[in-house]
Structure 1
Amino acid sequence: MRISVIGCGYLGAVHAACMAELGHDVVGIDVDERKIAELQAGRGPFFEPGLPEVLTRAQATGRLRFSTDLADARDATVHFVAVGTPQTKGSFNADLTYVNAAVDGLLPHLKSGDLVVGKSTVPVGTAARLAGVIEAAGSGATLAWNPEFLREGFAVKDTLTPDRFVYGVSGGEQTDEGAKAAAILDEIYAKALATGTPRIVTDYATAELVKVSANAFLATKISFINAMAEVAEATGADVTQLADAIGHDARIGRKFLNAGLGFGGGCLPKDIRAFRARGDELGLTDTLSFLGEVDAINLRRRERVVTLTRELVGDLQGATIGVLGLAFKPNSDDVRDSPALDVVQKLQAAGATVVAFDPEANETAQRSVPGLTTAASAAEAYSGADAVLVLTEWQEFRDLDPATVAAAVNHKRVVDGRNCLDAAAWRAAGFEVRGLGRP
């Protein structure tokens, strides 16, 4: 099929490349000339494992190209809107400026039978409003909402072989318009559907809620175990063993029960805040008020890491802290709302000298925090440190040899912000070890 993807940020670039990989003819469109130049050269403008290879393969077939001109969407029959919905400055609401602009920009290029497909995460009610905008334009095009469920670091896999498809269509699949939209999406995703991937066809509002409620649930689960970490610290319990024990309960499960520095990135924090703000607009303030505490628990973890560091080091003024990890999660260079980067800034504000290293996020972190001191390696970051902080659980940090680190630091102190180290091995090497929710 002939597809346009509007917005070539994290979501759009991956989606465009993967749609071409599936055999479709795709044009990715974005106003950012630098980003488009990178993509045309087969390079992702961000770190995502597997994306450069998919870009190279797809472009070699001639099925994938990129443009800054929205008019290049006119030859496509399916138009994916994959622009960002950041948090509005000064409030918790989602900023729909880019979504609105993408749809408005598409209107002159739509024709009868075209399908506009929303991928962006939006407040419930947005799709119905945009469907009205498209209908009023009189082109004969229709709208569907097809939320994404990508995990950074696994986005290519999650696009090509997702764990489910959700289609929000006008009136549900029972209507002619809804059935037609679902059939088009079925054709696009035919390869994955052929393997038995679950497919749910529903109305606009439900499709929108699937994404934000899934993120709200995951955020709640993470904050729950971090609340238990606070209890564990007060009682001398071990939150990791606690998570193992309750995780064996099939009703609970072990995933997302890793206590530590908490969640960040471009999705969970802003999505739960936008969901709560939408609840306020719908008169459901009390219903979603628990998300405020989910957010607060998450933010307290960052302060707790600074407190643990101060307990080890004493006065942070003039202390040298080696930080390992800046991205909000491993296998990513994303520092949006990164707990690690937030801790770094808090340490600097307390007077510490911070030398940080991340395998992929040094550059993005420096763009976010000008003047940040980064190292070229983990060894350079921890050399001469008064304390070492592990703030992103990259495998290379998990695999560090404590004896090697011990020979390079000024004082043998480590704060394991992700509970990812073998604490016994580090203590055997002479380190004082502090973790979140661990004795």
Structure 2
Amino acid sequence: MKWRWAASCWPTSNAVQPASREGQAPFYEPGLDDLLAKHTAAGNLRFTCSYAEAADFADVHVLAVGTPALPGSGGYDLAQLHAAVRRLAPGLNDGALIIGKSTVPVGASEALRTVLHRYSRPGADVRLVWSPEFLRGSCAVEGTLRPDRIVLGVAAGDTTSQAVFRAVHAQILDTGCPLLVTDPPTAELAKGAANAFLATKISFINAMAELCEAAGADVHQLVAVLGHDDRIGRRGMSPGLGFGGGCLPKDLHGFIARAEELGLGRAVSILREADAINLRRRERLVYLARELCGGGLSGRRIGVWSASFKPGTDDIRDSPALAVADALHRAAAEVTVHDPMAVGNARTAFPHLHYTGDPTDAATGAELLLHLTEWPEYREIDPAELHRRIATPTVIDGRGTLAVERWRSAGWTYRALGSP
């Protein structure tokens, strides 16, 4: 059986061309370029912008189309997804299977199934199942090859689709990866529910950070205490500036929007508060920066580490770090931003900020240094050496990952969200 991983670039082909021509992705993801180069050179992977060619080539199609937020509502915009199915359907071979991977609101696959059957060839046996991806930026290759679970949402009694799906994923399933077979609505809910829980867990500990700051307690010590309870767990409970990116905030808003459409707005009120807590962390960091600058930000020189929403990626979508940097700029501060990978994207989106390719340059002559994304490179910088370059040795550790005693012993005033 032939298998094609279909990553639609609807409505343009801009993302396909660089990968097709050079074996490189148009974004940074560790390990991805090596895989692209290896398999394009071997002829095992090729790219096309033709739906007809893709439909004729394969019996299995993986649909990984973006579902951006609808402006104003927070819901999912499924236009690209519907367009991809509509254009793929007429050329599908009899017996073809579409595996949906996109993050969608519950009920979306049933509507897509209607589109698929409306535009497919008369009498063609074509099927659609849903298998949400749970990938995380900066470790997506590992998450694809060695996932912690695979979810398959399939109609009751559809053993044919199950068999094809298992055959496609046989190499991964043979390693012991669990396959959880559900009905389609449960599979659609799985990704949004997972991200909603993660967002709530992060916002919970950041709410505790607010209490710690007011009470003189240390949220990082509190995390250590809570993490020993196996019902709670330490993983994912990282106090600091909060979450951002292209998935977690969007999926949180989309999950809330769909619940409200179903008349269950009260059931997700906790998620609205999780979102509010998350945004408050950015305001709190700006407030703390103003406090450490003597009550005013105008004309103050501030260095910012970094621009991406998390380490290991050049993704700046809803970056808490850039949101803080932009707020400081709007308060008339002079802001210089460094990032190991995302300076190019940041400069395009925020051209009014200053940028540098050297983290020490961001601190040189500054009156305040902000550590806002926990790239490992920043932990390796010698604070004693940096002390000689900064005008005022004061740092706000927005992620709580710098070695606090090392920085303080080097003469720095060290502050972290949720810590004394």
1:264 aligns to 2:240 (yes or no): no
C-alpha distance in 2 between matches for 1:407 and 1:96: 53
Q: Aligned with 2:234: secondary structure? A: coil
After superposing on structure 2, the runs of 4+ consecutive aligned residues of structure 1 that deviate more than 4 Å are: none
1:414 aligns to 2:399 (yes or no): no
* Offset, 1:371: 2.8
Q: Aligned with 1:159: secondary structure? A: helix
* Offset, 1:340: 0.6
Tell me the matched-pair count: 414
User: Paired residue for 1:405?
Assistant: 386
Letter matched to residue 363 of structure 2: Y
| Correspondent of 1:140 among 125, 135, 142 | 125
Contact in 2 for aligned 1:6/1:30 (Cα 8 Å): no
C-alpha distance in 2 between matches for 1:290 and 1:410: 43
C-alpha distance in 1 between matches for 2:417 and 2:325: 17
C-alpha distance in 1 between matches for 2:70 and 2:398: 29
Superposed counterparts of 1:251-330, under 5 Å:
251-314=231-294, 315-330=296-311
Contact in 1 for aligned 2:3/2:168 (Cα 8 Å): no
Contact in 2 for aligned 1:31/1:69 (Cα 8 Å): no
Could you list the per-position Cα deviations for residues 235-270 of structure 1 after superposition, in whole angstroms to 9, with x for gaps in the alignment?
A: 000000100110010111001111001111111101
User: Paired residue for 1:7?
Assistant: 7
* Offset, 1:410: 0.8
Deviates more, 1:335-344 or 1:138-147: 138-147
CA RMSD of aligned residues (A): 1.2
C-alpha distance in 2 between matches for 1:368 and 1:105: 32
| Correspondent of 1:203 among 183, 190, 199 | 183
Could you list the per-position Cα deviations for residues 26-65 of structure 1 after superposition, in whole angstroms to 9, with x for gaps in the alignment?
A: xxx6553332221111111111000011001111221100
1:395 aligns to 2:376 (yes or no): yes
| Correspondent of 2:136 among 141, 151, 172 | 151
Deviates more, 1:71-80 or 1:213-222: 71-80
Letter matched to residue 103 of structure 2: T
Residue 119 to residue 400, structure 1, CA distance change in 2 (3 Å):
same
C-alpha distance in 2 between matches for 1:348 and 1:222: 27
| Correspondent of 2:312 among 321, 327, 331 | 331
Deviates more, 1:234-243 or 1:65-74: 65-74
Structure 1 unaligned segments of length 5 or more: list them.
Answer: 9-28
User: Paired residue for 1:378?
Assistant: 359
Q: Aligned with 1:366: secondary structure? A: helix
Letter matched to residue 273 of structure 1: H
Superposed counterparts of 1:35-434, under 5 Å:
35-40=15-20, 41-73=22-54, 74-137=56-119, 138=122, 139-171=124-156, 175=157, 178-314=158-294, 315-434=296-415
Could you list the per-position Cα deviations for residues 68-91 of structure 1 after superposition, in whole angstroms to 9, with x for gaps in the alignment?
A: 222221221111110111111112
Could you list the per-position Cα deviations for residues 132-160 of structure 1 after superposition, in whole angstroms to 9, with x for gaps in the alignment?
A: 22233343211000100101111001001
Q: Aligned with 2:235: secondary structure? A: coil
TM-score normalised by L of structure 1: 0.92
Percent of aligned pairs with the same residue? 48
Letter matched to residue 162 of structure 1: P
Letter matched to residue 395 of structure 1: P
Deviates more, 1:287-296 or 1:369-378: 369-378
Contact in 1 for aligned 2:10/2:84 (Cα 8 Å): no
Q: Aligned with 2:206: secondary structure? A: helix
C-alpha distance in 2 between matches for 1:136 and 1:393: 49
C-alpha distance in 2 between matches for 1:293 and 1:7: 35
Letter matched to residue 85 of structure 2: V
C-alpha distance in 1 between matches for 2:223 and 2:209: 10
C-alpha distance in 2 between matches for 1:363 and 1:5: 29
* Offset, 1:116: 0.9
TM-score normalised by L of structure 2: 0.96
* Offset, 1:202: 1.1
Letter matched to residue 117 of structure 2: E
C-alpha distance in 1 between matches for 2:228 and 2:43: 49
Contact in 1 for aligned 2:246/2:318 (Cα 8 Å): yes
C-alpha distance in 1 between matches for 2:349 and 2:5: 27
Contact in 2 for aligned 1:247/1:253 (Cα 8 Å): yes
Contact in 1 for aligned 2:75/2:258 (Cα 8 Å): yes
Could you list the per-position Cα deviations for residues 329-352 of structure 1 after superposition, in whole angstroms to 9, with x for gaps in the alignment?
A: 000110111111111110011001
Contact in 1 for aligned 2:302/2:335 (Cα 8 Å): yes
Could you list the per-position Cα deviations for residues 270-319 of structure 1 after superposition, in whole angstroms to 9, with x for gaps in the alignment?
A: 10100000001101010011111000000000011101111111210001
Q: Aligned with 1:33: secondary structure? A: coil
